Structure formats: structure tokens, C-alpha cells
Structure 1
């Protein structure tokens, strides 16, 4: 069974069932912590329980961090990975097809497709 397949197997079903139970146990624990009065939990012997304030504060902080990541950090990472505007890689790459790559291109009825150099584009657009 050395293959990596997405097919169900007994091992995966055991892991899935344990994760399912742990997920529900986590949800129930969170709801008990958030909704049951702290004095009632202390009377049951659960004295070392975070304050119920954190039941609302922690998810709020997590959501705020996610929003900060999505709107600030992720675009900043993309800007750092992108080449600067004056870099030659923003204008051409190794896959670019040049007019010189097609000898005798004017012999055909329809000219072949190729990339136009940026200086030629600027000359036509801005005279």
C-alpha cells in the first residue's frame, strides 16, 4: 500500500472519526466555557478556566489578524516578489517571440504573431 491515493482506507476512517469527535468536543467545550456562568463552573471544581471575556475577545482578535493578513501582509508579500517597474523582466521574458525570429516573415499573406518591443510601442503611442 505504498501508493498515495485519495481512496478511503481503514486508517483514514479512524483518523477522520477521531477528528470528528475532537471537533465536536471542542465546540461543546467552547460553548460551555462561553455560556455557563463562571461561578457554576467553579462550584464543579473547574477553577482554572479563562474568563468568559476571552470567549468573545479571542475570536475577534483572530478575525482581526486574518483581515490584517488579507488586506496588508499578503499584498505586501506579492509586491516584494514582483520585479520593480524599471526592471527588464516586466517588459520581456525568455518566452518572448521577436520579429527577428521569423526570417522572411513578409513572404506570407498573414504576418506571424510576435511581441513588439516596448520602444516601438512607445513610438507609435506617443510619437
Structure 2
């Protein structure tokens, strides 16, 4: 098995360089399409390209779709996946670590991490 490392291997570096060149080619093509007059491009024989209006409309539509996803759809999906507030799993579950699970023989210089009992939390927060 190969070693898993984030260092670029030769194959990944080739793909990265090709994507770098492709990205710059797309940016330059987009800027030419957006900035150069359509009549000049038509005189060069480029009559099949979209109107320059779409150079502004397409990114605007894409940004709008991303914002709708980020502010509406993604939070809605998270609300659907969240358990209801009255569910007992919000208080404790089968993976909870209790203080009783640890032996207190003085080995720990730092106290172990464990889940607090909900009655202790309420007592500490509200009965001070």
C-alpha cells in the first residue's frame, strides 16, 4: 500500500499544473468575451458565442443560486436532520461517559473528560 501524504506526487502535480493552465485560459477567454465588442468577434468568425449580456447574467444567476442554497436550503436540511428539542437523545445517549466510569486512584493530573448529569447542570446554572 502506498503512503498517504498531502505532499504532491508526480501525478497530482501534473493534474494541478493542467488545472492551473485551464483556469487561466478560462479567465482570459471570459474576459475577452465580456470586454471585446461582439461585432469585432463576429468579424473574426466567432459568430456562435453567446451575447455579452450573458457575461454578466450567468455569474449573477450563479451567485444568486449559491446564496439561496447557503441561506435557505442548507439550513433547512440541517433543521430536518436535527432531533427535536424534547427528545431524550439531547440529554444523554449510549456513548455518554459518566464520572463513575473512571477510577479515582490519583493517577490523573488532569481530570478526565466526562458528560455531566443534566440535574447537576441545572442545579449549577439555576440554583446558584
TM-score, reference length from structure 2: 0.73
Aligned counterparts, 1:35-50, within 5 A: 35-50=35-50
What do residues 35-71 of structure 1 show as CA deviations (whole Å, max 9, x unaligned)? 1111111110111001111100111111111111111
Q: Is the 8 A contact 1:96 1:115 kept in 2?
A: no
Residue equivalent to 2:19: 19
The answer to whether the 8 Å contact 1:41/1:47 transfers is yes
Computing the radius of gyration over CA atoms, which structure comes out larger, 1 or 2?
Answer: 1
Gaps of 5+ in 1: 103-112
Q: Establish whether residue 83 from structure 1 lines up as the match of residue 83 from structure 2.
A: yes
Partner in structure 1 of residue 62 of structure 2: 62
Equivalent position of 1:10 in the other structure: 10
The 8 Å contact of residues 91 and 118 in structure 2, kept in 1 or not, is answered as no
Comparing 5-14 with 61-70, which one deviates more in the overlay? 5-14
Alpha-carbon distance in 2 for matches of 1:96, 1:11: 45
| 1:81 Cα deviation from its structure 2 partner | 0.8
DSSP 3-state at the match of 2:118? coil
Instruction: Please say if residues 30 and 55 of structure 1, whose CA atoms lie closer than 8 Å, have aligned partners that are also in contact.
Output: yes
- TM-score (norm. length: structure 1): 0.73
Q: Which runs of 5+ in 2 are unaligned?
A: 102-114
Could you tell me how far 1:117 is from its partner in structure 2?
Answer: 4.3
